Amino acid sequence: MTIRDILTYPDERLRQVSGPVVQFDAALQANIDDLEETRLAGPAAVGIAAPQIGWFQRVVIVDVSGRKKTRSHGHLVLINPEITEWEGFVLGREGCLSVPDYTGNVVRAERIQLHALDREGKEQSFEMEGFEARAVQHEMDHLDGLLFLDRLVSRRQDLFQRKVYKE
Ligand code: NI
């Protein structure tokens, strides 16, 4: 396993739209392991998306189980994820390994129904809410070349500088 470099804003490669995974081979497994090791190597982010390490396929990892009072499905590797239902809207604070100097307030769906494949290519589906649903929506945005910066209602009011990366 290898810790990979994380692309950071304003790197244009973060704008690229990623393609679906079609082969569940050894190369995929190795990339997933690198993605996870890279997620854990820094400030242990609750999520990471493949394009953040320059791998432009539709793969994200989310694990919010370390957060107190947060419902979660544990550690998830989500391949070719699709949100099939949305419900409610909620404003919340987000950070991103690719935007290390800022956090921002972003509106997301409160509850989602999610379909994805696991790392073996098996179908899985989840009902998610709250912070876990937010994390998945944030990571899935990366697959379409979007950052939380693109979803701020107001840059002046909803963007915050931080000195130390915490989440
Ligand atoms: Ni991010």
Cα–Cα distance, 133 to 127 (Å, whole number): 9
Distance in Å, CA 11 to ligand 1 centroid: 13
According to DSSP, residue 120 is labeled T
Q: What percent of the chain has pLDDT over 90?
A: 90
In the CATH scheme, what architecture does the domain 12-161 have?
Answer: Alpha-Beta Complex (3.90)
Number of CB atoms found within 10 A of residue 113's CB: 16
Residue 81 region by backbone torsions, left for phi larger than 0, else alpha for psi between -120 and 50, else beta: beta
| Mean pLDDT, rounded, for 30-43 | 95
0.85 surpassed by pTM: yes
Domain boundaries, the chain: 12-161
Distance in Å, CA 10 to ligand 1 centroid: 13
| Mean pLDDT, rounded, for 102-116 | 97
Output the pLDDT for position 115. Answer: 98
pLDDT category at 166 given cuts 50, 70, 90 is: low
Residue 44 has pLDDT above 80, yes or no: no
Distance in Å, CA 147 to ligand 1 centroid: 6
Tell me which residues are annotated as active site. 139
Residue 137 has pLDDT above 90, yes or no: yes
Residue 136 has pLDDT above 60, yes or no: yes
Q: Name 78's bridge partners.
A: 60
Output the pLDDT for position 56. Answer: 98
